[in-house]
Each structure stands twice: as structure tokens, then as C-alpha cells.
């Protein structure tokens, strides 16, 4: 049977239903016509603007991050071009061979790349901080759906040598540690913006106009001397290894300006490769960690006694029998000395002598002196996490506490604070503010803490400490007169002094015209020696000697072999 002869074709709608269908069709066409007229006539401008808004938008223009350089202009941190590789999953239909090629170029597992390309998203980021050469080679493969954006990666030429000073940035080039964080506002600059035209997949097809140009970040010049920083780090690393120590730190200051010329810590890390970083590596111990400084504080106590006229350098102090009982506690010397002059109390590092001198002072006087030297508050460098240390209010001091504070126990300072305080002895009693940034001599004004006469008197005592009969003959440097003081302190564990030590030495040279201060701290040496004169003083000598020669400082003494005096010290002594 032919289709035209089908019985279904013979059926007819009723006239009423046919008219209803026709009316509905005509009404639908009329509504469509009215809507078209409204869209193309009345709402034309509004729709045009909405269309343009969907196609155009603002794109951020990143500002180039400023460089960090040392005092000589040597590069310490710079941003280098890098790429971010992403893909549009709907377009990235890759063959197994292409997928393997993409994963190999990005150094990523194939399953990870495959998983990201399978995400229900318009755009996925595959990997950031890709080297430009690798990105260009990848784009040359012309894989479908692949996209590359320009970004920056921070590079640190000094690596672990200056890591704790310079710090590092995150993947978005924002400062996270060190100078990178402290000077984030200066280094980061101000981003710009541009209006762009996008296609239906939100991809940029045209840059229409630049609305605001980016303002690149400013360079930051540090006071740091790259040569001295390398010397400090290298000698510190050797000392930590030789003494099998837990950690160590070194600070080098310019006596004339208060600049920090070197600041090294161990353990350290490479900011160019931060995988597997631990808190131990990140800690800037010279600024953030505090410890009981031990005998390195004795010169401050004696300086105060000299300044207030309680003693003179030759005033006799009886230290026999090498013990002093105050209340229920007993202070001991490493070995008994008998009658000592005030100068010899420093030279021999007598705890009993320092405590007896402190008895002549009031708690308020000692507290005021500690505060004037910068203890109890951060150094004010603007460095993240810099510690203020601990100086208890004098009104709560007991006699035994005042006695122990006279030789550096019961008080906590950072190594940077300790090095800073020694400026008053290297100079004529005034204390310059410290600076991480380069400054010219004479541009900073110091506060007078002690008189020039007191500073010179203590300076002479500190020189005696490194001569024969002193506690630090290993701090001597051929051709240079050196002054300084050892420190050895037990570490507190759960409120009890344990048989773990912090060994330290702070000194300056040349004595005839001090130029540099070097402070050394070795944490928990475990190779058989723990006294500051044995552990920290030799590190000081090596760093100071190399630093003076690197800066072209003329010798101020005849070149003679250093004299070392070997003394037998009973266990438990603190020098």
C-alpha cells in the first residue's frame, strides 16, 4: 500500500481544534516578534554593554620584585622569569603518547597529570615555576588545550650562606621570611592593570588598553658584607662539625656605624630548594633565640661599679675560698683564685668576684643598666621574630638572683643583643642603634651608657682576658690586639640546670682602634669541650682575623705566635 493511501491521512481534526492550534501558533510567533523588537530596539544598549562585559575584563600586571644586594652591590636575591603551565580540560584531549610527553616535560607522574586534566573545571593549573626553556619546548609540541602564563621565580645566589638574613618568598613572589618579609612593601612594588578581550572560553584574545602601569619594587641594599658573611658561615660550620654541636650562630658588627656586616646560623637551608625544610633549619638563632649569656655579662657589672665609683680597676676583691654562700645557695668559681683586683676578676672570670662587686650595687641600678644596653626588648631591626630576651623587674630580685645576674645567669639575651651591648666597650661608652641596611659613618647617633673613661678601663680588662693568664688565649690573633670575654652557661631544662652548655665569646679588634665586633655562640658542644675559651674563642679568632684582613685593617701589634695557657678546670665551673 502506498503512503498516500494510508488510512491515517484520511482522519481530520475538528474545525474547533484546528482553529485553536492555528491561534496558538500565531500567538507564539507574535510573542517572538515582540521580544525581538524589544531586544533589538529598546534594550539594545543594555545588552551591548552586557555582552562587552562578558567578553572584556581586567587583567592584573605583576610588578617586578626589587632585588636584594649586599653593601657592595653583590646580588643576594632577584626575580627571574618563569612560567605557569595550565590547560583547558575540554580541549586537552591527549593521546597516551602526548600525555606521557607532557608529564615528562613537567617532571610529574602521568597519573597526576591525567587526574588534573579530568577535573570538571574550565581551567586547571598543572605546574608553576617552570623554567622558560622547558615551557617553550613544551608549547612547541602544540598539544591541544595547553596554556602558559608568565610569572617570576626568586633566585638566591648565596644560597644557605645568607639564608637566614635574606629569607625567601612563596610561589606568588611574596616575602615569607627574613628581609624578604621585613621589606615586603618596598620590594613588592605596585601591580598594574590592563583591559583585555576574552573569547567564549575566557581566554585572552586581545589587550585593549592599559589602565595602570605597574610600579616595580625597589632594590634593598643591606649592610651585609658578602665576603664577611661567607667567612662567618664557613668558620661557624667547621666549628659546629668539630664540636659536634647542636647549632651555632655568629654576628659581626661595624663599630663605627652599628651595621650588621654578617649574621650566620647553623643549621641552615638552601632557599632555592626548600623541600623537606624543618623548623630547626629556619630558625634565625642569632635574632630569635635567647640564652643565658654567662660570663660575657661580667664586664657590664664591673662597668657599672666603675661608673658609680664603687670600685676602681685595682680595687682588691677577696674571692677565696672560691665559693660564696647567699641564703641557701652557693656560688662557685671554676677554681679558687684568692685576692684579685677588679681587672683580674674579668681576666680570671671569677663568679665570686663578680657577685661581690654586684653586692655594692642596687638592683635598680643593675636593672637600669641592662635596659640601657638594650636587654629586655627587641633590637628594633624590624626583622620577623626578633627576641627581646628576659630581664625580670628589679623589685622582685632576691639577693641570690642579683648575684647570679652579675655573671650572666637568670637573664636571657639573644646573640645580636649581646654583640650590640659590646659596642659600648668598643666605642667610648655610647651605644649606636643596629642596622640591617647600609648606612654611612656618622649618620646614626648613639646613647651614652658609660663614660669614655669607664669604657676604656673595661676595654683594657677585656684585653687582659685574651692574654696569658686569661680565660681566652685561643682568641688571640697574630698582629692584632684583641679584647673579649668568654661565656659558658648551663642550659635550663624544666627549670633545672642540665649538663648541656651554651659556649660563647664576644670580642673586638684591633684594641688600639676597634673596627669590628664578633660574637660567637655554640649550642650544646659534645666533642669533649664546652668552655667558651675552648669552643667559641677559636672561632672568633678565625672569623675576626679573616674579616680584618678582608677589610684591609692594618695590624696594631707585632706578629708573634699566639700564647696559649692550658689550665685544669674542675667540672661544673662557668667561665
Q: Rounded distance, CA 204 to CA 421, Å?
A: 59
In 3D space, the residue among 139, 131, 87 whose CA is nearest the CA of residue 113 turns out to be 87
Beta-bridge partners for 121: none
Instruction: Tell me if residue 567 falls in helix, strand or coil.
Output: coil
Give me 217's grid cell. 619594587
- Per-position DSSP letters for 300-339, written without gaps between them: HHHHHHHHTTS--TT-EEE-TTSEEEETTEEEE-SS---E
Instruction: Tell me the DSSP string of 193-250.
Output: EEEEEE-TTS-EEEEEEEEE--BPPPPEEBS--HHHHHHHHHHHHHHHHHTT-SEEEE
Grid cell 630581664 in the structure block, residue: 391
Is residue 147 within 8 A of residue 123, CB to CB? The reply is yes
Question: Could you give the 3-state DSSP secondary structure of residue 417?
Answer: helix
Say whether 507 sits in a helix, a strand or coil: strand
Say which residues have a Cβ less than 8 Å from residue 225's Cβ, sequence separation at least 6.
70, 71, 72, 252, 261, 262, 550, 551
| Three-state secondary structure call for residue 95 | coil
Instruction: Answer yes or no: are the C-beta atoms of 248 and 521 closer than 8 Å.
Output: yes
Would you say 316 and 344 are in contact if contact means Cβ atoms under 8 Å apart?
no
Dump the DSSP string for 431-494.
EPPPBSB---TTSS--EE-S-HHHHHHHHHHHHHTTSTTSS-GGG-BTTB--EEEEEEEEEEET
Which are the contacts of 128, defined by CB distance < 8 A and separation ≥ 6? 82, 84, 85, 151, 171
CB 232 within 8 A of CB 542: no
What cell was used for 337? 683564685
Q: Of 105, 295, 349, 547, which one is the catalytic site residue?
A: 295
| 341 labelled catalytic | no
Separation between Cα atoms, residue 248 and residue 227, nearest integer Å: 19
Say if residues 229 and 253 touch (Cβ distance below 8 Å): no
CA 574 to chain centre: 31
Report CA-CA distances (Å) from 3 to 8, 10, 13: 10, 12, 20
* Euclidean distance between CA atoms 188 and 217, whole angstroms: 5
Q: Which residues lie closer than 8 Å to 505 by C-beta, 6 or more apart?
A: 296, 472, 475, 484, 485, 486, 487, 519, 520, 532, 533, 536, 537, 539, 540
Give me the active site residues, please.
295
Amino acid at each position: 500500500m502506498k503512503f498516500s493511501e494510508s488510512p491515517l491521512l484520511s482522519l481530520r481534526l475538528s474545525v474547533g481544534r484546528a482553529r485553536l492550534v492555528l491561534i496558538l501558533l500565531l500567538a507564539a510567533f507574535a510573542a517572538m516578534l515582540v521580544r525581538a523588537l524589544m531586544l533589538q530596539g529598546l534594550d539594545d544598549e543594555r545588552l551591548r554593554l552586557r555582552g562587552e562585559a562578558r567578553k572584556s575584563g581586567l587583567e592584573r600586571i605583576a610588578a617586578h620584585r626589587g632585588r636584594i644586594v649586599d653593601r657592595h652591590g653583590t646580588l643576594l636575591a632577584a626575580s627571574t622569569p618563569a612560567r605557569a603551565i595550565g590547560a583547558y580540560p575540554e580541549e586537552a584531549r591527549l593521546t597516551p603518547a602526548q600525555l606521557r610527553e607532557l608529564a615528562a616535560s613537567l617532571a610529574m607522574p602521568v597519573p597526576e597529570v591525567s587526574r588534573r586534566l579530568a577535573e570538571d573545571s574550565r581551567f586547571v593549573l598543572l605546574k608553576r615555576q617552570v623554567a622558560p626553556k622547558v615551557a617553550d619546548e613544551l608549547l612547541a609540541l602544540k598539544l591541544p588545550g595547553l596554556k602558559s602564563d608568565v610569572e617570576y621565580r626568586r633566585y638566591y645566589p648565596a644560597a644557605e650562606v645568607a639564608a637566614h638574613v635574606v629569607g625567601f618568598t612563596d610561589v606568588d613572589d611574596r616575602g615569607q621570611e627574613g628581609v624578604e618579609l621585613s621589606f615586603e612593601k618596598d620590594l613588592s612594588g605596585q601591580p598594574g592593570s590592563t583591559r583585555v578581550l576574552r573569547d567564549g572560553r575566557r581566554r585572552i584574545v586581545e589587550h585593549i588598553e592599559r589602565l595602570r602601569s605597574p610600579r616595580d619594587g625597589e632594590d634593598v641594599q643591606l649592610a651585609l658584607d658578602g665576603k664577611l658573611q661567607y667567612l662567618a658561615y664557613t668558620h661557624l660550620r667547621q666549628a659546629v662539625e668539630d664540636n659536634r654541636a647542636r647549632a651555632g650562630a655568629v654576628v659581626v658588627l661595624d663599630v663605627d656605624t652599628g651595621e650588621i656586616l654578617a649574621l650566620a646560623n647553623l643549621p641552615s637551608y638552601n632557599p632555592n630548594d626548600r623541600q623537606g625544610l624543618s623548623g630547626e633549619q629556619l630558625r634565625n638563632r642569632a635574632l630569635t633565640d635567647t640564652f643565658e649569656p654567662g660570663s660575657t655579662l661580667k664586664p657590664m657589672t664591673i662597668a657599672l661599679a666603675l661608673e658609680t665609683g664603687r670600685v676602681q680597676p685595682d680595687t682588691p676583691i677577696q674571692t677565696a675560698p672560691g665559693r660564696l654562700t647567699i641564703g641557701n645557695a652557693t656560688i662557685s668559681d671554676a677554681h679558687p683564685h684568692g685576692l684579685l683586683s677588679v681587672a683580674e676578676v674579668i681576666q680570671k672570670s671569677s663568679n665570686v668576684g663578680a657577685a661581690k662587686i654586684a653586692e655594692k650595687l642596687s638592683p635598680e641600678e643593675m636593672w637600669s643598666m641592662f635596659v640601657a644596653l638594650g636587654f629586655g626588648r627587641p633590637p628594633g631591626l624590624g626583622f620577623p621574630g626578633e627576641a627581646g630576651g628576659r630581664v625580670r623587674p628589679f623589685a622582685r630580685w632576691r639577693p641570690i638572683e642579683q648575684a647570679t645576674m652579675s655573671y650572666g645567669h637568670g637573664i636571657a639575651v639573644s646573640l645580636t643583643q649581646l654583640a650590640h651591648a659590646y659596642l659600648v666597650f668598643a666605642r667610648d661608652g655610647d651605644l649606636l642603634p643596629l642596622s640591617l641596611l647600609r648606612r654611612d659613618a656618622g649618620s646614626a647617633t648613639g646613647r651614652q651608657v658609660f663614660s669614655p673613661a669607664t669604657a676604656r678601663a673595661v676595654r683594657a680588662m677585656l684585653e687582659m682576658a685574651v692574654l696569658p693568664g686569661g680565660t681566652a688565649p685561643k682568641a688571640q690573633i697574630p698582629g692584632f690586639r684583641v679584647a673579649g670575654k668568654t661565656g659558658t652557661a648551663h642550659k635550663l631544662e624544666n627549670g633545672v640546670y642540665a649538663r648541656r652548655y651554651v659556649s660563647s665569646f664576644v670580642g673586638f679588634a684591633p684594641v688600639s682602634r676597634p673596627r669590628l665586633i664578633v660574637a660567637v655562640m655554640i649550642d650544646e658542644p659534645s666533642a669533649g669541650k664546652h668552655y667558651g675559651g675552648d669552643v667559641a674563642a677559636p672561632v672568633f679568632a678565625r672569623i675576626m682575623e679573616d674579616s680584618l684582613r678582608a677589610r684591609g685593617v692594618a695590624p696594631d701589634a707585632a706578629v708573634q705566635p699566639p700564647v696559649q695557657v692550658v689550665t685544669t678546670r674542675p667540672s661544673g665551673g662557668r667561665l
